[in-house]
Chain A
Amino acid sequence: MDRRTFVAGATAALAAAALPPPASAVVPKPYDWNATPPMDDRQAFIDWMVANRGEDPLYLGQRYDRFLQLIAHNDVWNDRNKRAYLMTPREDFVTKPNLSRAYEWHYLDIGYGVSITGPHTVMRMTNTIDPQKGERVLEVGTGSGYQSAVLANLTDQLHTIEIIKPLYERTGGVYADLIAQGYTEYQAIQRKNDDGYYGWEEFAPFDKIIVTCGIDHVPPPLLQQLKPGGVMVIPIGPPGAQHVLRIDKTQQADGRFTIARSDIYHGSIVNFVPFTKLVEGKIVGTHSN
């Protein structure tokens, strides 16, 4: 075994050991597409989630606090997407050293030079493509699996591709554990270990595509596999300052396709900075004050 292989293997083993152990609790009630947790009261939310999902109140509280900031920053703006956020245990997708920061604004390292995107960007992208149940969604860059887990609360036609094999396998283990605990919605996630540049021809065309890896151009195969009228989102820029590029594909009367690039906020200048501070569940000011 040469050194690089050894180092890579050792890194993978270490990274796997770094993952949090699966939560001991088992989801008490089967997944229900129509069940929605309370959104306007922190304690009610926690109680509902403990009763229906069996999750840890500590993380539920953090999830709710972040939820208020997501709303304050317009990173999520409709109830289906709000529900998807609230129903997804982000703490199960971060590595152990980052558990205490699972619900912070930032992106976090998950190994292999890959990060789990911050909750604001994840929800901004999710709500932008706003998949309807039954719509076919392709995700390029499975990474931690968190983005797909959120999407699994919006559609049951979900396809995701990861290029890095050990990461693909590790995330597969995370899903398997969660499914075993009762997160049956993740069974709908179809995954493969491949080069996402070429999309997933077998399931094309897609209503929505979400790309979470950096590249110097938008892969033409993905543009081809996007349905006319479909939407694609791609975060651009360094991890912390990612701007979300929205791409709309339309078909003209003469049959030609046109591609329009825009910011997801339709020409508004986005507030980049997550300054709002929470005190007892209320947004009270900024770090600067």
Chain B
Amino acid sequence: MAPVDDHTLTDLDGTDVGMAVPRLFGSVGLLAGAVIALQIAVMRVFAVGSWSHFGSLVVSLAMLGFGLAGVLIYAAGGWLDRHGRAAAGVALVLFGPLAVAANQIAQIVPFNAVFLVSDPMQKWRLIANFLLYLLPFLAGALFLGMVFRQERGRFNRLYFADLVGSGLAGVAILGAMHLLVPERLLVAPLLLWAGAVVLWFGARRRLWSLVGAGLTLAAYLALPGLLHLPALAVSQYKGISYARNFPDARRLYRSVSPYGDLQVYASSYMHFAPGLSDNAAFNVPELPPDSYVGLYLDGDGPSGIMRQIPAADTAYFHYLPMFYPYVLKPDARVFVTQFGGGLSAMTALNAGARSVTVAEANPEVLRAFRAPTLRAATGGILEDPRLRAVGLDGRLYLARTLDRFDVIDLSLADSVGLSNPGGFAVIERYAYTEQALMTYMRALAPGGILAVTLWNKEEPPKSVLRFYATAAAAARRAGGDPARSFFVASSYLSTTTVLYKRGGFTAAEVARLEKQTADLSFDEVYAPGYAFDPNLADGILAKYRASVFGDGTSAASGDAPADDASAAPPGDGASGAPAPEPSTTLARLAWHEEMSRGGPGALADYVFDIRPLTDDRPYFAGYVHPGDLGRTLDRLDVLQDDWGYLLLWATLAVAALTVVPLIMLPVLLGGRRTVAEGRGLAPVLVYFGCLGLGYITVEVGLIAWFARALTNPTISAATVISGMLVFSGFGSLAAERIVTRARQILPVLLAAIALALAALPLVLPFALATLGTLPIALRLLGTIALVAPPAFLMGFPMATAMTWLGQAGRERSFVWAWAINGSLSVVGAAAVPLVAVLYGLSAVLYAAAAAYGLAIPAFLVLASSAAPLTAPLPAPT
């Protein structure tokens, strides 16, 4: 193989190094695609086997493989001039077997989040999982990095292949999710990899390439069976594992799609009645034992699906919290914003609703309900003449419909509520934001009722307080008299129901709701005219803070609340009216403040962050105030509900700590002057760091933004990633036209990018509102159309500057820049959700705009330190 140096690069057209351009570009594109497909597939493996946010942690850290590859390539230096192509071939070949081996071994040493705190082994297993999955990504990154280095004079074209390949793979894996079950999903990245191998090695070694790829795929598919190993180890603590442990459990249905792995199990051991009043025990006959089947999504659940129950048993519904609005509106036109397992719809039908419109954004759920195998189990509910199902997100549907409803229900959209042992992933909950509630309120007929039921199982309470603040804020903006418009009742450590009536409740209506509350033995939290006793709330906020972040000694020292227990040990029976539970008092205080002060009032000092959900901050997560983060480490057990959020901080910390040595290692290895090749380090560091941070921030941020219109995080991710990467690829390709004039043009482009990004938060809310009402195909196209312009521009800066470094003969800076870019992408990906939770999704885009803005001076310094580039570009091939 001919040595390649800077002088021959510009006239390379591929044939010089023994490889045709289409093959070179093809193998780069396919392997880049395989990397992104593997990323998504591993996330799915985690989502189904354990909990998705640990998958995010492992995968985002595994992407450090790109930074590490940069360092290794840097260290190899001139050796790669002679052996680069062979080394790249080895890395390419290893990607597939390493992916298979890493995934299989990870299934043998699964990590169990439930015992992260109590079992010291678990953190080693988590680290083992990270190191295992790092390997294939490192191999892929080494291949790409070595090829880039080899072909640095035409970096922008290879980068085009890399980006377009990655982008198209995003679409491909979305399609693959329809065909492949999660335990077989790695087939998709492996096929892309096999394609890359076959192209790379060409005709002479085609047979060997095919045999190697075939063996790898065969190993992936057959090894678990041959060795009796799990293809995908599902945690015993996942909802679905319990169902499988029931002796009479049988799977009735399974479908896989980008909407998830949906499975339905039947067992006489399943019992559902979310939030059922305890009083039902003495007023309702026992339901037949086979009344339910359980619906699981990615192994989480179950959501109960109920058979049609005998007419004599319908009193059952009266004791469910979602029955509340029908106390006042028995023959209502009802809208159910999330169909789920169908319990809300069934409650409405049994209450005597005139019509029930149900929305379900997950088409697979509706398909399951229509499947012949499930007809008996679902009682054919979708065939009820009073019921109409729309395959759309409830909020998006209500935003565009002209119909008005007497009751709008949003009830217990999450199956088992806030008892997920792995904690909750930080995901956007656009159905619960202030803007969503305003949409629901506007869709109410005069006198109509919005009824929202949430799980109330946290102690100290967090999500319910956040929701109360959201509901109150929405009502204030919707007009009318909020103080007369709400009725709130909860059941201790069970559920809470917020009723909002358009036009306000009459005294007679309040009385009927209070009677229902008494019938159910629920606690009234707020009603028009409710007299709140401030004495009960005395010191409650300080006590809650002490209960979480106080030092444990106070319990022993005698002044702690828990000490009351020894003074008056439980078990002495009921004597008079019992004092309300502190969490109930806190909820009452929250409503009192919201209604009397028009804001959180005293609750602003609560131990947790309970600011309302808005479209900009749509999270039931991130309750721990940033100032308290340092105090969380020795009490993680208590904060399990917020683990998803705390893990993001852990990810960011690990990423940041790893990135610093990765970036500084080349400097230490070669000395400052060597890396900078006689010029300043800072411009390279700042410029490529800003690009790495900026690009990933936009990408991850827009995935969250577009989830509002696309209603599903996986589909949003695949569409946004594909749209952005493909159009950035074209930007990269076009970049060669400006390389020689980069000093003049690139600052303008960077400014344009920064401005475009800063404008997005102003434009997107309107664009998404319109987009969300279109059919799915148009939504996907609209998403791509919206991301395309900024993405195209964002393709220029990296490609231009890298090509320029490559052509200027600054090989070391080139490799270092690539490592910086890759490393800071990891930091950016970890930081985005944190910025979003703390400051909002707009702030994410502003941060990205700032990063591109900061790149302008860095580039000017970088460009001024080099001679103007006049060398001709490679001729288009």
Contacts and interface: CB of A to CB of B under 8 A. Distances in A.
Q: Please indicate whether A and B come from the same complex rather than being unrelated chains.
A: yes
Interface of A: 3-4, 6-7, 10, 72-74, 77-78, 97-98, 101, 104, 106-109, 111-115, 127-130, 163-165, 195, 197, 214-221, 223-224, 229, 231, 236-241, 243, 245-248, 250, 256-276, 283, 285-289
Contacts of B278: 218, 223, 247, 259, 261
A59 to B, nearest CB: 18
Contacts of A258: 279, 521
A268 B565 contact: yes
B562 A220 contact: no
A22 to B, nearest CB: 24
A95 B782 CA distance: 56
B242 A113 contact: yes
Interface string B106-132: 000000101101110100000000000
B552 interface: yes
A214 B419 contact: yes
A275 B634 contact: yes
Q: Is the interface of B mostly helix, strand, loop or mixed?
A: loop
Contacts of A221: 281, 286
A271 B419 contact: no
Contact of A260 (B225, B236, B247, B574): B574
A243 B117 contact: no
A275 B553 contact: yes
Given A113-B235, A128-B570, A260-B521, A236 B493 contact: yes
Contact of B640 (A98, A240, A285): A240
Contacts of A217: 271, 273-276, 494
A245 B459 CA distance: 11
Contacts of B493: 236-237, 243, 245, 261
Interface string B559-601: 0111111101111011000111110000000000000000000
A220 B286 contact: yes
Interface stretch (B80-88, B541-549, B684-692, B788-796): B541-549
A270 B228 contact: no
B117 A269 contact: no
A247 B446 CA distance: 41
B245 interface: yes
A237 B118 contact: no
Contacts of A270: 547, 561-562
Contact of A113 (B245, B269, B543, B573): B245
23 contacts: A74-B565, A98-B119, A214-B419, A217-B273, A217-B276, A218-B278, A223-B281, A223-B282, A238-B423, A241-B637, A241-B640, A243-B459, A259-B279, A259-B281, A261-B581, A265-B570, A267-B564, A269-B561, A271-B552, A273-B552, A285-B553, A286-B551, A287-B552
A214 to B, nearest CB: 6
A239 B114 contact: yes
Given A238-B641, A275-B551, A74 B571 contact: no
A236 B228 contact: no
A98 B112 CA distance: 15
A287 B634 contact: yes
Contacts of A78: 569
A111 B242 CA distance: 12
Contacts of A216: 272-276, 416-417
A261 B561 contact: no
Interface residues of B, number: 91
Interface string B272-305: 1111101111101010000000000000000000
Nearest to B543: A269
Contact of B117 (A98, A106, A271): A106
B311 interface: no
A250 B272 CA distance: 25
Given A104-B118, A266-B578, A272 B281 contact: no
Contact of B566 (A6, A10, A77, A247): A77
Contact of A273 (B238, B579, B638): B638
A238 B420 contact: yes
A39 B80 CA distance: 73
B114 A267 contact: no
Contacts of A243: 459, 493
A272 B634 contact: no
B552 A276 contact: yes
Contacts of A269: 460, 540, 543-544, 546-547, 561-562, 582
9 closest pairs, A vs B, by CB? A275-B552, A240-B637, A106-B118, A113-B236, A220-B281, A223-B281, A217-B276, A268-B561, A259-B278
Interface string B403-437: 00000000000001111110100000000000000
Given A109-B112, A283-B553, A272 B457 contact: no
Contact of A236 (B119, B457, B581): B457
A195 B552 CA distance: 38
B618 to A, nearest CB: 23
B515 to A, nearest CB: 15
Interface string B234-247: 01111001101111
Contacts of A74: 555, 562-563, 565-566
A130 B551 contact: no
Interface in B2-33: none
A267 B236 contact: no
Contacts of A108: 115, 118-119
A109 B635 contact: no
A289 B563 CA distance: 22
B248 to A, nearest CB: 10
Given A3-B225, A107-B118, 5 more contacts: A108-B115, A111-B236, A245-B493, A266-B578, A276-B555
B234 to A, nearest CB: 10
B514 interface: no
Contacts of A165: 247
A195 to B, nearest CB: 5
Contacts of B236: 111-114
Given A73-B555, A163-B246, A266 B579 contact: yes
Nearest to B640: A238
Contacts of A289: 551
A42 B26 CA distance: 73
B459 A264 contact: no
A85 to B, nearest CB: 16
A30 B824 CA distance: 68
Contacts of B279: 258-259
A7 B231 CA distance: 11
Contacts of B175: none
A3 B234 CA distance: 14
B554 interface: yes
B268 interface: yes
Nearest to A196: B269
Contacts of A245: 492-493
A110 to B, nearest CB: 10
Contact of B554 (A114, A250, A268, A271): A271
A239 B636 CA distance: 12
B86 to A, nearest CB: 41
Given A269-B543, A269-B582, A106 B637 contact: yes
Contact of A271 (B417, B494, B555, B639): B555
Contacts of A250: 574
Given A267-B578, A288-B634, A240 B568 contact: no
Nearest to A232: B278
Contacts of B638: 240-241, 272-273
B565 A77 contact: yes
A257 to B, nearest CB: 5
A262 B244 contact: no
B553 A73 contact: no
Given A240-B117, A240-B638, A262 B273 contact: no
A97 to B, nearest CB: 8
B637 A256 contact: no
A113 B110 CA distance: 14
B456 to A, nearest CB: 10
Contacts of A104: 118
B230 A7 contact: yes
